[in-house]
Structure 1
Amino acid sequence: MWRTWSVLLAGLVGAVLLGAPAGAAPVTERAEPAGRADAVAAALRRDPVYVTDHAPRALPPDAAARIRASVARLGVPVYVVVTPVSGLGPENPSESFAALLRDRLGKDGVYIVVPPSGGGGEIRQFGGVRGLPLDDAWSAAGSETAYDAGAPEMIARFVDIALSGRARERRDHPRPKPESKVRKALDADDAADRRAGRIEWGVFAAGTALSGGSILGLLVGRRVRSARKAAAPRRPPRKSTKKSTRKARG
């Protein structure tokens, strides 16, 4: 009897240990975006601009202040979340995360979810707020902003375009994309190398000119002295006075 109960108990424990991970893993994956949405929504209740502290190198210290100043120009409630968007959803993580934030916060307005780099992300409008060409302005801002500009620059450009009255035109005919910071640094290095090369060439040319001028001066001076000697009149040879002296003595 005891042996039978031992076998049954061991089988039950084994089934629990083997079956639990298979059933729990999908729940954990589905709950992860919701857990992040709860935490970020709680932060948005205190401040409508949430900036992650996990990307200090990608964001300047005044990123939140700059974003607040930019979105305040829109004249509508705006909630901005600057956070890495990977892992927030299976297909379109930023869109699903914005919807989760709206559900958790329960407030109408414009919701912007953007990574610290500024590239990608998305914008959505909920409720009866002032109509703005959000999609066109966001698309144009992505085309007119350098790929490594950062979230504050991306949002500032978006606000400028949204208020310009030409959002669709700039979406269809974007301005030339500015150079990236890396490209500017490389161009600056190239320009410095060219300036250094010109300076080195100038010093070399000056040294060559000085040395060549010295040699040329010596040659010219020698030629002038030779010409002067050739042009000078020759003196007649002096006659000897020995014979006259002998006659005077005789």
Structure 2
Amino acid sequence: MSVLVIGALLACVPVPAAGAAGAVLERAKPVSRIDHLIAELRRDPVYVTDHAPRALPADAAGRIKKAVARLGVPAYVAVTPTVLADGYGTEDLVPLLHDDLGRPGVYIVADPTSPSFTAVQYGGATLPVKDAMWATASELPSDAGAVAMVERFVEIVLSGRAKERREAGGPRPKSKTRIALDAHDRSERAASRAEWRAFATGTALSGGALLLLLLLLASYRNRRRKARAGKTRSKARPVSAAGGRKRR
């Protein structure tokens, strides 16, 4: 009897519709970093992470917006640590963001914690984006920062010499860390040379003093040897009372 009652009660419980169940599962699914970036760029075309406060100035977003506005075309910028972006690098994020947003313009992704920087243009008036991207990488040190990279990129795009600057790019300037390390190495080498000179000078002086001491000692021993030899010869030739030599 109890089994029948329980079965009747269960039969009265409404079964959720398939659509409602799907909605519940969708809400339960965690939002990926890519989805978060896309949602942010739909709201504001310039997104600056709050996960790298030490690597970005307080006015980072404002400076980037001011810079890309000079391009004269739509621009979408995501400044985010790629380590948080589901393992994608900046070169991978750009097409992903464009595919989801589906809007023409210049797409820029910069990592504030590394020198990684990628810019691609989709549709619209053709700008020397690729040349400017590579020229930016050659003109700035690896620790220049995302804001400086975007500002230099825009400046090169608008310079009219993006290709020439890319081709003229030499070795990348040294980072502040590399400059500090090189200065430390030079200081260490200078200190080592100074210590070696001091050691060599001290060795030369002590060696000279030791040589002088050895010469004096040798001279003293030579004089004593000669004196002993003279005494020996004197004893070997005794003189008689008459002044002649004693005959044997």
The bucket for the TM-score relative to the shorter chain is 0.5 to 0.7
> Is the CA contact (8 Å cut-off) linking 1:146 and 1:177 kept in structure 2?
yes
Choose which of 100, 112, 131 in structure 1 pairs with 2:108: 112
1:55 correspondence with 2:70:
no
Secondary structure at the aligned position of 1:121 is classed as strand
Within 5 Å, which residues of 2 pair with 1:3-18? 3-8=6-11
Distance 1:27 1:197 in 2: 62
- The alpha-carbon distance between structure 1 residues 50 and 5, as it changes in their structure 2 partners (threshold 3 A), is same
TM-score by length of 2: 0.58
Q: CA deviation at 1:160?
A: 4.2
Letter in 2 for 1:188: A
1:208 correspondence with 2:210:
no
Q: CA deviation at 1:89?
A: 8.2
Distance 1:92 1:26 in 2: 27
Distance 1:3 1:41 in 2: 51
Q: Residues 146-188 of structure 1, C-alpha deviation per residue, up to 9 Å, x if partnerless?
A: 4444213322442343244332344466422233455444433
Letter in 1 for 2:50: D
Choose which of 24, 27, 37 in structure 1 pairs with 2:26: 24
- The alpha-carbon distance between structure 1 residues 221 and 143, as it changes in their structure 2 partners (threshold 3 A), is same
Q: CA deviation at 1:54?
A: 1.0
Distance 1:75 1:23 in 2: 42
Choose which of 121, 124, 130 in structure 2 pairs with 1:124: 121
Identity of aligned residues (%): 41
What is the alpha-carbon root mean square deviation over aligned residues? 4.7
- The alpha-carbon distance between structure 1 residues 135 and 62, as it changes in their structure 2 partners (threshold 3 A), is same
Distance 1:8 1:195 in 2: 90
- The alpha-carbon distance between structure 1 residues 24 and 171, as it changes in their structure 2 partners (threshold 3 A), is same
Q: Which residue of 1 aligns with 2:132?
A: 137
> Is the CA contact (8 Å cut-off) linking 2:93 and 2:109 kept in structure 1?
no
Segment drifting more, 139-148 vs 19-28? 19-28
Secondary structure at the aligned position of 1:81 is classed as strand
- The alpha-carbon distance between structure 1 residues 201 and 63, as it changes in their structure 2 partners (threshold 3 A), is farther
- The alpha-carbon distance between structure 1 residues 109 and 225, as it changes in their structure 2 partners (threshold 3 A), is same
Distance 1:93 1:211 in 2: 69
Q: Which residue of 1 aligns with 2:94?
A: 94
Distance 1:188 1:174 in 2: 25
> Is the CA contact (8 Å cut-off) linking 2:141 and 2:175 kept in structure 1?
yes
- The alpha-carbon distance between structure 1 residues 4 and 219, as it changes in their structure 2 partners (threshold 3 A), is closer
Question: How many residues are treated as equivalent by the alignment?
Answer: 213
Distance 1:193 1:65 in 2: 43
Choose which of 132, 139, 162 in structure 2 pairs with 1:167: 162
Letter in 2 for 1:52: T
Q: Which residue of 2 aligns with 1:230?
A: none
- The alpha-carbon distance between structure 1 residues 127 and 201, as it changes in their structure 2 partners (threshold 3 A), is same
- The alpha-carbon distance between structure 1 residues 43 and 185, as it changes in their structure 2 partners (threshold 3 A), is same
Letter in 1 for 2:188: D
Secondary structure at the aligned position of 1:122 is classed as strand
Q: Which residue of 2 aligns with 1:247?
A: none
Secondary structure at the aligned position of 1:195 is classed as helix
Structure 2: 5+ residue stretches without partners:
222-248
Q: CA deviation at 1:204?
A: 1.3
Letter in 2 for 1:115: D
Choose which of 58, 73, 78 in structure 2 pairs with 1:81: 78
Q: CA deviation at 1:201?
A: 0.9
